[in-house]
Structure 1
Protein backbone atom coordinates (compact mmCIF):
# COMPACT_ATOMS: atom_id res chain seq x y z
CA UNK A 1 0.00 0.00 0.00
CA UNK A 2 1.37 3.43 -0.97
CA UNK A 3 1.21 6.43 1.39
CA UNK A 4 1.01 10.03 0.21
CA UNK A 5 2.55 11.31 3.44
CA UNK A 6 5.65 10.57 5.52
CA UNK A 7 5.21 7.83 8.10
CA UNK A 8 5.93 8.70 11.72
CA UNK A 9 9.31 7.69 13.05
CA UNK A 10 9.64 5.15 15.85
CA UNK A 11 10.59 7.92 18.29
CA UNK A 12 7.55 10.05 17.51
CA UNK A 13 4.89 7.37 17.03
CA UNK A 14 3.83 7.56 20.68
CA UNK A 15 2.58 11.10 20.10
CA UNK A 16 0.00 9.94 17.53
CA UNK A 17 -3.42 9.68 19.22
CA UNK A 18 -4.08 5.93 18.64
CA UNK A 19 -0.72 5.12 20.27
CA UNK A 20 -1.20 7.33 23.34
CA UNK A 21 -2.85 4.71 25.50
CA UNK A 22 -2.18 3.45 29.00
CA UNK A 23 -2.31 -0.34 28.87
CA UNK A 24 -4.10 -2.43 31.50
CA UNK A 25 -0.74 -3.65 32.84
CA UNK A 26 0.58 -0.09 33.09
CA UNK A 27 -2.63 1.02 34.80
CA UNK A 28 -2.28 -1.80 37.35
CA UNK A 29 1.25 -0.57 38.20
CA UNK A 30 0.05 3.04 38.38
CA UNK A 31 -2.84 2.09 40.66
CA UNK A 32 -0.45 0.24 43.01
CA UNK A 33 1.77 3.32 43.22
CA UNK A 34 -1.25 5.56 43.79
CA UNK A 35 -2.42 3.36 46.65
CA UNK A 36 0.87 3.93 48.50
CA UNK A 37 0.60 7.69 48.13
CA UNK A 38 2.40 8.52 44.87
CA UNK A 39 1.17 11.54 42.89
CA UNK A 40 0.43 11.39 39.16
CA UNK A 41 3.61 13.26 38.18
CA UNK A 42 5.65 10.90 40.35
CA UNK A 43 4.01 7.88 38.73
CA UNK A 44 4.80 9.33 35.30
CA UNK A 45 8.42 9.85 36.35
CA UNK A 46 8.55 6.17 37.40
CA UNK A 47 7.48 5.06 33.91
CA UNK A 48 10.03 7.40 32.29
CA UNK A 49 12.87 6.02 34.44
CA UNK A 50 11.72 2.47 33.75
CA UNK A 51 11.57 3.06 29.98
CA UNK A 52 14.88 4.95 29.85
CA UNK A 53 13.48 7.91 27.91
CA UNK A 54 10.23 9.87 27.96
CA UNK A 55 9.80 9.06 24.27
CA UNK A 56 9.85 5.33 25.07
CA UNK A 57 6.90 5.44 27.46
CA UNK A 58 4.17 5.52 24.78
CA UNK A 59 1.80 7.94 26.54
CA UNK A 60 1.91 11.35 28.13
CA UNK A 61 0.95 12.48 31.62
CA UNK A 62 -2.46 13.67 30.41
CA UNK A 63 -3.26 10.14 29.15
CA UNK A 64 -2.23 8.72 32.52
CA UNK A 65 -4.31 11.26 34.41
CA UNK A 66 -7.37 10.58 32.23
CA UNK A 67 -7.09 6.81 32.66
CA UNK A 68 -6.66 7.08 36.44
CA UNK A 69 -9.57 9.51 36.69
CA UNK A 70 -11.89 7.35 34.58
CA UNK A 71 -11.08 4.19 36.55
CA UNK A 72 -11.61 6.09 39.79
CA UNK A 73 -15.10 7.16 38.67
CA UNK A 74 -15.86 3.53 37.77
CA UNK A 75 -14.79 2.40 41.24
CA UNK A 76 -17.00 5.03 42.87
CA UNK A 77 -19.91 4.16 40.57
CA UNK A 78 -19.66 0.46 41.38
CA UNK A 79 -19.26 1.09 45.10
CA UNK A 80 -22.34 3.30 45.10
CA UNK A 81 -24.08 0.82 42.78
CA UNK A 82 -24.10 -1.80 45.54
CA UNK A 83 -25.78 0.68 47.85
CA UNK A 84 -28.25 1.62 45.10
CA UNK A 85 -29.22 -2.01 44.53
CA UNK A 86 -29.71 -2.44 48.26
CA UNK A 87 -31.96 0.61 48.26
CA UNK A 88 -34.03 -0.77 45.36
CA UNK A 89 -34.45 -4.10 47.12
CA UNK A 90 -35.70 -2.24 50.19
CA UNK A 91 -38.15 -0.26 48.02
CA UNK A 92 -39.50 -3.52 46.62
CA UNK A 93 -40.20 -4.72 50.17
CA UNK A 94 -42.58 -1.80 50.83
CA UNK A 95 -43.96 -1.43 47.28
CA UNK A 96 -45.11 -4.70 45.73
CA UNK A 97 -45.37 -3.13 42.27
CA UNK A 98 -41.92 -1.55 42.42
CA UNK A 99 -39.91 -2.79 39.41
CA UNK A 100 -36.16 -2.76 38.84
CA UNK A 101 -33.66 -4.57 36.67
CA UNK A 102 -29.93 -4.26 36.14
CA UNK A 103 -27.19 -5.62 33.90
CA UNK A 104 -23.53 -6.33 34.69
CA UNK A 105 -20.71 -6.80 32.19
CA UNK A 106 -18.12 -9.59 32.01
CA UNK A 107 -16.02 -7.86 34.66
CA UNK A 108 -18.93 -7.82 37.10
CA UNK A 109 -19.41 -4.06 36.78
CA UNK A 110 -22.92 -2.61 36.87
CA UNK A 111 -23.49 -0.98 33.47
CA UNK A 112 -27.30 -0.61 33.24
CA UNK A 113 -29.94 0.04 35.86
CA UNK A 114 -33.68 0.65 35.40
CA UNK A 115 -36.39 1.30 37.99
CA UNK A 116 -40.06 2.38 38.18
CA UNK A 117 -42.37 2.59 41.19
CA UNK A 118 -46.01 1.53 41.43
CA UNK A 119 -47.34 5.04 40.74
CA UNK A 120 -45.28 5.28 37.56
CA UNK A 121 -46.60 1.95 36.31
CA UNK A 122 -50.22 2.92 37.04
CA UNK A 123 -49.72 6.33 35.40
CA UNK A 124 -48.39 4.69 32.24
CA UNK A 125 -51.54 2.58 31.96
CA UNK A 126 -53.49 5.88 31.94
CA UNK A 127 -51.19 8.36 30.17
CA UNK A 128 -48.88 6.00 28.29
CA UNK A 129 -50.04 6.70 24.74
CA UNK A 130 -47.10 9.09 24.27
CA UNK A 131 -43.66 8.40 25.76
CA UNK A 132 -40.91 11.01 26.06
CA UNK A 133 -37.50 9.33 25.99
CA UNK A 134 -35.16 11.99 27.41
CA UNK A 135 -31.43 11.17 27.27
CA UNK A 136 -30.10 14.68 27.88
CA UNK A 137 -29.41 14.34 31.62
CA UNK A 138 -25.68 13.89 32.28
CA UNK A 139 -25.20 16.15 35.25
CA UNK A 140 -24.83 13.39 37.84
CA UNK A 141 -21.48 12.91 39.58
CA UNK A 142 -20.65 9.81 37.53
CA UNK A 143 -21.02 11.66 34.19
CA UNK A 144 -23.23 8.79 33.06
CA UNK A 145 -26.38 9.10 30.92
CA UNK A 146 -29.52 9.26 33.04
CA UNK A 147 -32.57 8.44 30.94
CA UNK A 148 -35.92 9.82 32.05
CA UNK A 149 -39.02 8.16 30.57
CA UNK A 150 -42.00 10.47 30.96
CA UNK A 151 -44.82 12.47 29.40
CA UNK A 152 -47.06 15.47 30.08
CA UNK A 153 -50.52 14.49 31.28
CA UNK A 154 -53.89 16.18 30.66
CA UNK A 155 -53.19 18.71 33.42
CA UNK A 156 -49.87 19.74 31.83
CA UNK A 157 -47.91 18.15 34.65
CA UNK A 158 -44.83 16.06 33.96
CA UNK A 159 -45.48 12.38 34.72
CA UNK A 160 -42.44 10.15 35.27
CA UNK A 161 -42.76 6.55 34.11
CA UNK A 162 -39.26 5.35 34.95
CA UNK A 163 -35.53 6.01 35.09
CA UNK A 164 -32.43 4.32 33.72
CA UNK A 165 -28.79 4.95 34.66
CA UNK A 166 -26.38 3.77 31.96
CA UNK A 167 -22.65 3.52 31.32
CA UNK A 168 -22.77 4.28 27.57
CA UNK A 169 -25.05 5.45 24.76
CA UNK A 170 -24.79 2.58 22.30
CA UNK A 171 -27.80 1.38 20.34
CA UNK A 172 -27.90 -1.97 22.13
CA UNK A 173 -27.90 -0.14 25.49
CA UNK A 174 -30.95 1.94 24.56
CA UNK A 175 -32.61 -1.19 23.17
CA UNK A 176 -32.12 -2.76 26.59
CA UNK A 177 -33.76 0.24 28.28
CA UNK A 178 -36.76 0.24 25.97
CA UNK A 179 -37.29 -3.53 26.17
CA UNK A 180 -37.05 -3.51 29.99
CA UNK A 181 -39.42 -0.54 30.11
CA UNK A 182 -42.03 -2.42 28.08
CA UNK A 183 -41.58 -5.42 30.39
CA UNK A 184 -42.11 -3.16 33.42
CA UNK A 185 -45.33 -1.85 31.88
CA UNK A 186 -46.71 -5.38 31.42
CA UNK A 187 -46.13 -5.36 27.69
CA UNK A 188 -48.03 -2.16 26.93
CA UNK A 189 -46.40 -0.16 24.13
CA UNK A 190 -46.75 3.57 23.48
CA UNK A 191 -48.51 4.85 20.37
CA UNK A 192 -45.82 7.49 19.87
CA UNK A 193 -42.31 8.05 21.20
CA UNK A 194 -40.75 11.50 21.43
CA UNK A 195 -36.95 11.63 21.62
CA UNK A 196 -34.23 14.27 21.81
CA UNK A 197 -32.16 12.69 19.04
CA UNK A 198 -32.76 11.36 15.55
CA UNK A 199 -30.57 8.58 14.12
CA UNK A 200 -29.75 6.52 17.23
CA UNK A 201 -33.23 6.40 18.72
CA UNK A 202 -34.84 6.05 15.31
CA UNK A 203 -33.03 2.72 14.85
CA UNK A 204 -33.93 1.58 18.37
CA UNK A 205 -37.62 2.36 17.90
CA UNK A 206 -37.68 0.78 14.47
CA UNK A 207 -36.17 -2.42 15.88
CA UNK A 208 -38.39 -2.73 18.95
CA UNK A 209 -41.52 -0.69 18.15
CA UNK A 210 -41.96 -0.85 14.37
CA UNK A 211 -45.61 0.25 14.56
CA UNK A 212 -44.95 3.20 16.88
CA UNK A 213 -44.73 6.76 15.57
CA UNK A 214 -41.38 8.43 16.28
CA UNK A 215 -41.10 12.19 16.57
CA UNK A 216 -38.54 14.62 17.92
CA UNK A 217 -39.41 16.37 21.17
CA UNK A 218 -40.57 19.93 20.42
CA UNK A 219 -39.49 21.33 23.80
CA UNK A 220 -35.97 19.97 23.27
CA UNK A 221 -35.85 21.45 19.77
CA UNK A 222 -37.04 24.77 21.16
CA UNK A 223 -34.20 24.77 23.70
CA UNK A 224 -31.74 23.99 20.92
CA UNK A 225 -33.16 26.80 18.83
CA UNK A 226 -32.58 29.26 21.68
CA UNK A 227 -28.93 28.18 21.98
CA UNK A 228 -28.27 28.21 18.22
CA UNK A 229 -30.21 31.31 17.18
CA UNK A 230 -30.38 34.30 19.56
CA UNK A 231 -33.54 35.85 18.12
CA UNK A 232 -36.48 35.66 20.53
CA UNK A 233 -39.17 36.43 17.95
CA UNK A 234 -37.84 33.67 15.70
CA UNK A 235 -37.86 31.11 18.51
CA UNK A 236 -41.45 31.94 19.45
CA UNK A 237 -42.61 31.70 15.84
CA UNK A 238 -40.73 28.43 15.33
CA UNK A 239 -42.32 26.87 18.42
CA UNK A 240 -45.79 27.85 17.16
CA UNK A 241 -45.02 26.46 13.71
CA UNK A 242 -43.98 23.12 15.18
CA UNK A 243 -47.45 22.57 16.62
CA UNK A 244 -49.42 24.29 13.87
CA UNK A 245 -52.20 22.10 12.44
CA UNK A 246 -52.14 22.88 8.75
CA UNK A 247 -51.51 21.30 5.37
CA UNK A 248 -47.99 20.46 4.24
CA UNK A 249 -48.09 23.23 1.63
CA UNK A 250 -49.21 25.75 4.24
CA UNK A 251 -46.36 24.63 6.48
CA UNK A 252 -43.84 25.12 3.66
CA UNK A 253 -45.19 28.61 3.00
CA UNK A 254 -45.02 29.53 6.69
CA UNK A 255 -41.48 28.13 6.92
CA UNK A 256 -40.29 30.13 3.91
CA UNK A 257 -41.72 33.32 5.45
CA UNK A 258 -40.11 32.57 8.81
CA UNK A 259 -36.67 31.93 7.31
CA UNK A 260 -36.74 34.95 5.01
CA UNK A 261 -38.13 37.45 7.51
CA UNK A 262 -35.72 36.40 10.26
CA UNK A 263 -32.72 36.06 7.92
CA UNK A 264 -31.67 32.60 9.10
CA UNK A 265 -31.73 30.78 5.78
CA UNK A 266 -27.96 30.12 5.79
CA UNK A 267 -27.80 28.92 9.38
CA UNK A 268 -26.49 25.32 9.45
CA UNK A 269 -28.64 24.33 12.41
CA UNK A 270 -31.74 25.59 10.59
CA UNK A 271 -30.86 23.59 7.51
CA UNK A 272 -30.54 20.41 9.56
CA UNK A 273 -33.79 21.16 11.36
CA UNK A 274 -35.65 21.61 8.09
CA UNK A 275 -34.16 18.38 6.73
CA UNK A 276 -35.72 16.54 9.70
CA UNK A 277 -39.09 18.35 9.53
CA UNK A 278 -41.00 15.08 9.03
CA UNK A 279 -40.03 14.14 12.59
CA UNK A 280 -41.26 17.30 14.31
CA UNK A 281 -43.67 19.32 12.17
CA UNK A 282 -47.30 18.59 13.08
CA UNK A 283 -48.28 19.13 9.44
CA UNK A 284 -46.09 16.20 8.33
CA UNK A 285 -46.83 13.99 11.33
CA UNK A 286 -50.56 14.27 10.65
CA UNK A 287 -50.03 13.69 6.93
Structure 2
Protein backbone atom coordinates (compact mmCIF):
# COMPACT_ATOMS: atom_id res chain seq x y z
CA UNK A 1 0.00 0.00 0.00
CA UNK A 2 2.84 2.37 0.77
CA UNK A 3 4.39 1.74 -2.64
CA UNK A 4 1.05 2.72 -4.17
CA UNK A 5 1.33 6.09 -2.43
CA UNK A 6 -1.09 5.52 0.43
CA UNK A 7 -0.08 7.47 3.53
CA UNK A 8 0.95 5.47 6.58
CA UNK A 9 -1.85 6.92 8.74
CA UNK A 10 -4.43 5.80 6.14
CA UNK A 11 -2.91 2.32 5.98
CA UNK A 12 -3.19 2.10 9.75
CA UNK A 13 -6.85 3.15 9.70
CA UNK A 14 -7.63 0.54 7.07
CA UNK A 15 -5.92 -2.20 9.09
CA UNK A 16 -7.80 -1.15 12.23
CA UNK A 17 -11.12 -1.31 10.40
CA UNK A 18 -10.29 -4.70 8.90
CA UNK A 19 -9.22 -6.05 12.30
CA UNK A 20 -12.34 -4.72 14.02
CA UNK A 21 -10.51 -2.26 16.27
CA UNK A 22 -7.12 -1.41 17.70
CA UNK A 23 -7.41 -4.12 20.36
CA UNK A 24 -7.55 -6.83 17.64
CA UNK A 25 -4.61 -5.53 15.63
CA UNK A 26 -1.67 -6.92 17.65
CA UNK A 27 0.59 -3.90 17.13
CA UNK A 28 0.55 -0.15 17.62
CA UNK A 29 0.80 2.62 15.04
CA UNK A 30 4.31 3.42 16.30
CA UNK A 31 5.36 -0.17 15.54
CA UNK A 32 4.18 0.19 11.95
CA UNK A 33 5.97 3.54 11.50
CA UNK A 34 9.17 2.05 12.93
CA UNK A 35 8.99 -1.04 10.68
CA UNK A 36 8.42 1.06 7.57
CA UNK A 37 11.25 3.38 8.58
CA UNK A 38 13.63 0.40 9.00
CA UNK A 39 12.70 -0.83 5.49
CA UNK A 40 13.34 2.63 4.07
CA UNK A 41 16.73 2.91 5.75
CA UNK A 42 17.78 -0.55 4.55
CA UNK A 43 16.96 0.53 0.99
CA UNK A 44 18.96 3.74 1.39
CA UNK A 45 21.89 1.96 3.05
CA UNK A 46 22.29 -0.15 -0.09
CA UNK A 47 24.42 2.57 -1.66
CA UNK A 48 22.06 5.27 -2.93
CA UNK A 49 22.76 7.62 -0.04
CA UNK A 50 26.50 7.05 -0.47
CA UNK A 51 26.13 7.87 -4.16
CA UNK A 52 24.25 11.09 -3.39
CA UNK A 53 26.86 12.20 -0.86
CA UNK A 54 29.69 11.33 -3.27
CA UNK A 55 27.94 13.27 -6.05
CA UNK A 56 27.52 16.36 -3.85
CA UNK A 57 31.12 16.10 -2.63
CA UNK A 58 32.36 15.95 -6.21
CA UNK A 59 30.24 18.95 -7.20
CA UNK A 60 31.51 20.87 -4.16
CA UNK A 61 35.11 20.48 -5.33
CA UNK A 62 34.28 22.39 -8.52
CA UNK A 63 31.83 24.78 -6.84
CA UNK A 64 33.10 25.76 -3.38
CA UNK A 65 29.90 27.75 -2.68
CA UNK A 66 27.82 24.59 -2.87
CA UNK A 67 26.66 23.84 0.66
CA UNK A 68 25.42 20.44 1.73
CA UNK A 69 25.19 18.73 5.04
CA UNK A 70 23.79 15.40 6.12
CA UNK A 71 23.26 13.40 9.28
CA UNK A 72 23.22 9.66 9.80
CA UNK A 73 21.71 7.43 12.46
CA UNK A 74 23.59 5.04 14.76
CA UNK A 75 23.70 2.41 12.00
CA UNK A 76 25.05 4.74 9.32
CA UNK A 77 21.69 5.19 7.58
CA UNK A 78 20.90 8.60 6.16
CA UNK A 79 18.57 10.66 8.39
CA UNK A 80 18.71 14.14 6.87
CA UNK A 81 20.24 15.82 3.83
CA UNK A 82 20.13 19.51 2.88
CA UNK A 83 21.82 21.17 -0.09
CA UNK A 84 21.96 24.61 -1.69
CA UNK A 85 24.34 26.37 -4.06
CA UNK A 86 25.62 29.89 -4.70
CA UNK A 87 22.72 31.09 -6.88
CA UNK A 88 20.18 29.85 -4.32
CA UNK A 89 22.11 31.49 -1.49
CA UNK A 90 22.33 34.76 -3.45
CA UNK A 91 18.58 34.58 -4.10
CA UNK A 92 17.95 34.08 -0.38
CA UNK A 93 20.13 37.08 0.40
CA UNK A 94 18.06 39.19 -2.03
CA UNK A 95 14.57 37.69 -1.75
CA UNK A 96 14.57 35.73 1.52
CA UNK A 97 12.38 38.08 3.54
CA UNK A 98 9.58 35.54 3.13
CA UNK A 99 10.48 31.86 3.33
CA UNK A 100 8.06 29.15 2.23
CA UNK A 101 8.64 25.80 3.95
CA UNK A 102 7.03 23.35 1.53
CA UNK A 103 7.05 19.67 2.44
CA UNK A 104 5.71 16.84 0.30
CA UNK A 105 5.20 13.23 1.24
CA UNK A 106 5.77 9.93 -0.55
CA UNK A 107 7.09 11.47 -3.75
CA UNK A 108 10.36 9.55 -3.91
CA UNK A 109 11.05 5.81 -3.88
CA UNK A 110 12.36 5.85 -0.30
CA UNK A 111 9.32 7.71 1.05
CA UNK A 112 11.56 10.40 2.52
CA UNK A 113 9.89 13.67 3.35
CA UNK A 114 10.96 16.12 0.63
CA UNK A 115 11.31 19.74 1.70
CA UNK A 116 11.76 22.72 -0.59
CA UNK A 117 12.68 26.02 1.05
CA UNK A 118 11.70 28.72 -1.41
CA UNK A 119 10.44 32.25 -1.92
CA UNK A 120 9.38 34.69 -4.61
CA UNK A 121 11.71 37.02 -6.50
CA UNK A 122 11.06 40.52 -7.83
CA UNK A 123 9.46 39.04 -11.00
CA UNK A 124 6.94 37.06 -8.91
CA UNK A 125 8.69 33.84 -9.87
CA UNK A 126 9.45 31.08 -7.42
CA UNK A 127 13.09 30.86 -6.40
CA UNK A 128 14.41 27.86 -4.53
CA UNK A 129 16.73 28.57 -1.61
CA UNK A 130 17.49 24.98 -0.54
CA UNK A 131 16.19 21.41 -0.78
CA UNK A 132 16.20 18.70 1.84
CA UNK A 133 15.19 15.15 2.62
CA UNK A 134 14.41 13.82 6.07
CA UNK A 135 13.52 10.26 7.02
CA UNK A 136 10.57 11.28 9.18
CA UNK A 137 8.80 14.45 10.05
CA UNK A 138 8.82 15.64 13.63
CA UNK A 139 11.03 17.35 16.15
CA UNK A 140 14.41 15.86 15.23
CA UNK A 141 14.09 16.40 11.50
CA UNK A 142 12.64 19.89 11.56
CA UNK A 143 15.12 21.10 14.17
CA UNK A 144 17.95 19.80 12.00
CA UNK A 145 16.54 21.26 8.75
CA UNK A 146 15.93 24.74 10.13
CA UNK A 147 19.25 25.01 11.98
CA UNK A 148 21.19 23.64 8.97
CA UNK A 149 19.37 26.02 6.63
CA UNK A 150 20.30 28.96 8.86
CA UNK A 151 23.90 27.72 8.91
CA UNK A 152 23.92 27.60 5.09
CA UNK A 153 22.52 31.13 4.95
CA UNK A 154 25.08 32.51 7.42
CA UNK A 155 22.48 32.95 10.17
CA UNK A 156 20.21 35.30 8.19
CA UNK A 157 16.62 34.83 9.31
CA UNK A 158 13.55 35.63 7.24
CA UNK A 159 10.98 38.19 8.33
CA UNK A 160 8.13 35.73 7.73
CA UNK A 161 7.82 31.99 7.18
CA UNK A 162 4.89 30.23 5.53
CA UNK A 163 4.28 26.57 6.46
CA UNK A 164 1.47 24.03 6.48
CA UNK A 165 1.07 24.57 10.23
CA UNK A 166 2.71 21.38 11.51
CA UNK A 167 3.27 21.69 15.27
CA UNK A 168 6.92 20.58 15.08
CA UNK A 169 7.71 23.15 12.41
CA UNK A 170 6.03 25.87 14.49
CA UNK A 171 7.99 24.84 17.57
CA UNK A 172 11.38 25.07 15.86
CA UNK A 173 10.64 28.25 13.95
CA UNK A 174 9.74 29.84 17.28
CA UNK A 175 12.89 28.42 18.90
CA UNK A 176 15.41 29.06 16.10
CA UNK A 177 13.86 32.12 14.44
CA UNK A 178 12.16 33.90 17.37
CA UNK A 179 11.65 37.25 15.60
CA UNK A 180 10.20 35.66 12.46
CA UNK A 181 6.45 35.94 11.85
CA UNK A 182 4.94 32.51 11.21
CA UNK A 183 2.00 32.16 8.80
CA UNK A 184 0.01 29.11 7.82
CA UNK A 185 -0.51 28.40 4.13
CA UNK A 186 -4.23 27.77 4.65
CA UNK A 187 -4.74 31.24 6.15
CA UNK A 188 -2.90 32.93 3.27
CA UNK A 189 -4.99 31.32 0.51
CA UNK A 190 -8.36 32.38 2.01
Tell me the residue number matched to 1:168. 136
- RMSD, matched Cα: 2.4
Displacement of 1:200 in angstroms is 2.3
Contact 1:115 1:163 in 2 (8 A): yes
Aligned match of 1:209 in 170, 177, 182?
Answer: 177
Task: Give SS of 2:76's match.
Answer: coil
Whole-angstrom distance in 2 between the partners of 1:137 and 1:88: 23
1:222-267 Cα offsets, whole Å, 9 max, x none, are 9xxxxxxxxxxxxxxx94xx4xxxxxxxxxxxxxxxxxxxxxxxxx
Whole-angstrom distance in 1 between the partners of 2:37 and 2:163: 29
Give unpaired runs (5+ residues) of structure 1. 1-12, 22-62, 223-237, 243-287
2:165 aligned with 1:200: no
2:111 aligned with 1:143: yes
Whole-angstrom distance in 2 between the partners of 1:144 and 1:198: 17
Q: How does 1:2-13 map to 2 (within 5 A)?
A: none
Whole-angstrom distance in 2 between the partners of 1:196 and 1:14: 34
Aligned match of 1:158 in 107, 126, 132?
Answer: 126
1:53-96 Cα offsets, whole Å, 9 max, x none, are xxxxxxxxxx8xx95x7644322212200000000001101111
Displacement of 1:171 in angstroms is 1.4
| TM-score (structure 1 length as normaliser) | 0.53
Tell me the residue number matched to 1:254. none
2:74 aligned with 1:74: no
Tell me the residue number matched to 1:105. 73
1:125-166 Cα offsets, whole Å, 9 max, x none, are 100111001112431111110110001112111100001111
Give unpaired runs (5+ residues) of structure 2. 1-22
Tell me the residue number matched to 1:83. 51
Q: Which has the higher strand share?
A: 2
| TM-score (structure 2 length as normaliser) | 0.78
Whole-angstrom distance in 1 between the partners of 2:113 and 2:73: 17
Whole-angstrom distance in 1 between the partners of 2:130 and 2:168: 20
Higher RCO structure (Cα 8 Å, ≥6 apart): 2
Contact 2:37 2:135 in 1 (8 A): no
